[in-house]
Amino acid sequence: MPTTDPGAAKNDAGARRPACDAPRPRRLIGVVLIAAAFVALSLGVGFLWFVGHLPAGDSTPNRTADGIVVLTGRASRISDAIELLASGRGRRLLISGVYPTTTAAAIARLVPEHQRWVVCCVDLDHSAVNTTGNAIQTRGWVIQHDMKSLIVVTSNYHMPRAMTELAHQLPNVALIAYPVVPERVRIESWWSSPTTARLLLAEYLKYIRTMIRTKTALVLSRPGGP
């Protein structure tokens, strides 16, 4: 009568187990690859949406506001903002993020025909070193002057991130975008310029990071948390 050796059966089971477990690493790798492909596809589609919604030309605001803020960069942004101030689009202008050594007199030399506006109605912020800092400094300025609406002047590709930061700091203030189109950044043919493509991709990733940070902060600030 045949007998069964428990030790042999145990050894046989142990020998067979790797054959069952072997596909697991391959399945895990497959899941990771699919997830990575999904993330890459989502980022790619999001990037195309981001670029497609950037204004390709300057557009004058269709309404006035209590104030105007320009996030510094090229001198053309400052000139455009002062033109808005001089045309009565706002009662005061904040130039946020200027160099520590920049003075009102230096700003006035950019637009000699509007020097009186610079003297009476332009404030300089020397503290901000990035877009988050711009928004924080703008918030203090808006509160100080009891403003309920604000025209935002910055480059077209920077506008989505700037508006997100400002909306986070000023949820009860109406924000009106005034995008300035840099001469060297051709949105309509961005794919033909590696420099422009890299600039837009970097700005898109910063925008995504800003969206995640501000939305997370909003959820955490609610009573009871998430």
Q: Got the DSSP string for 96-144?
A: ET--TT--HHHHHHH-GGGHHHHHHHEEEE----SHHHHHHHHHHHHHH
Q: How many CB atoms lie within 10 A of CB 125?
A: 20
Residue reference for tokens 């790797």? 18
Reply yes or no on whether the pLDDT at 157 is more than 80. yes
pTM, to two decimals: 0.80
Reply yes or no on whether the pLDDT at 33 is more than 80. no
Q: What's the pLDDT band for 39 if we cut at 50, 70, 90?
A: confident
- Cβ atoms 131, 49 nearer than 8 A: no
What is the CATH code for 67-185? 3.40.50.620
Question: Terminus-to-terminus CA distance in the chain, angstroms?
Answer: 68
pLDDT value at position 32?
77
What token pair was written down for 15? 């020998």
Q: What is the mean pLDDT of residues 181-199?
A: 87
**51: Cβ–Cβ under 8 A, 6 or more apart, which residues?**
187, 190, 200, 204
